[in-house]
Amino acid sequence: MASNSASGVLVIGLGRFGSALANSLDSMDQEVLAIERDPVLVERYSKYFPVVEADASDPLSLEQAGVKEFAAAVVSVGTSLEASVLITGNLHDAGMQEIWAKAISDEHAKILKRIGAHHVVLPESESGYRVAHQVGGRMLDYIEIDAGFSIVKMRPPRETHNFSLADLQLRDKYGIQVIGVMSPEGEFEYGHKSTIIHPDDVMVIGGDEDLVMRFANRP
């Protein structure tokens, strides 16, 4: 089982999706370690973020890479269904707290969920940049309503804790609209001036994609 003090993100596989994800996490000042079996890709990306050359389908290799020291892992191997299934299963067996896995089809996604993936990503619809914000930031869910407009579920940034929406003026400051707030008990309240944001709440916000992403990445 991963330790209670585990932090950071383990990215397994440095194809187009995985490399974009790892680079985005690193640029967000998130602790990140990539695992890649291809020495050419290891050499290419090691100048940008930490990379180890290993075969993550081998449980011993994962253990040696320090898998239990990470809070989340993203399985972003290429088109090999067998490899992604093996790696996802190994992470589950190691007690990884949060497993994200890339799927190449809906059927592949179903298998990954059955063997322990908490989140499954179809890269055709979700970029590495966007997933980096979900894995490494406060974002819990993301919906693109229309070109350029998004709705996000997220943990509240520290600056919002115990303040009302009237006090915060988030539309004026950040250009985003608070649609509502959900309590830890699951009670939803539509956003109005007297709504107070508590540290354990979940905010539902909407607005321009870039502005929403920027707000979701605030500490």
- Most confident among 37-41, 133-137, 151-155 (mean pLDDT): 37-41
The two beta strands, 149-154 and 202-208, are: antiparallel
Closest CA to 134 of 74, 190, 186, 177: 74
Q: How far, in Å, are 76, 93, 176, 197 from residue 170 at the CA level?
A: 35, 42, 6, 12
Q: Which band of pLDDT confidence, cut at 50, 70 and 90, is reported for residue 93?
A: very high
Q: Is the pLDDT assigned to residue 90 strictly greater than 90? A: yes
- Whether 123 maps to a domain, the answer reads yes
74 plus 164 within the same structural domain: no
Q: Please check whether residues 151 and 127 belong to one and the same domain.
A: no
Percent of the chain with pLDDT over 90: 45
pTM metric for this prediction? 0.62
CA distances in angstroms from 66 to 16, 61, 94, listed in the order given: 24, 9, 11
Query: Looking at the domain assignment, is residue 204 inside a domain?
Result: yes
Domain count, the chain: 2
Range of the domain at 114: 9-136
Say whether both 101 and 201 belong to one domain: no
Higher pLDDT, 96 or 136: 96
Cα(37)–Cα(82) distance, rounded to whole angstroms?
A: 15
> Structure tokens of 103?
């799927």
Looking at the fold, whether 15 and 112 belong to one and the same domain comes out as yes
The reply to whether 112 and 194 lie within a common domain is no
Query: How many whole angstroms separate alpha carbon 76 and alpha carbon 74?
Result: 6
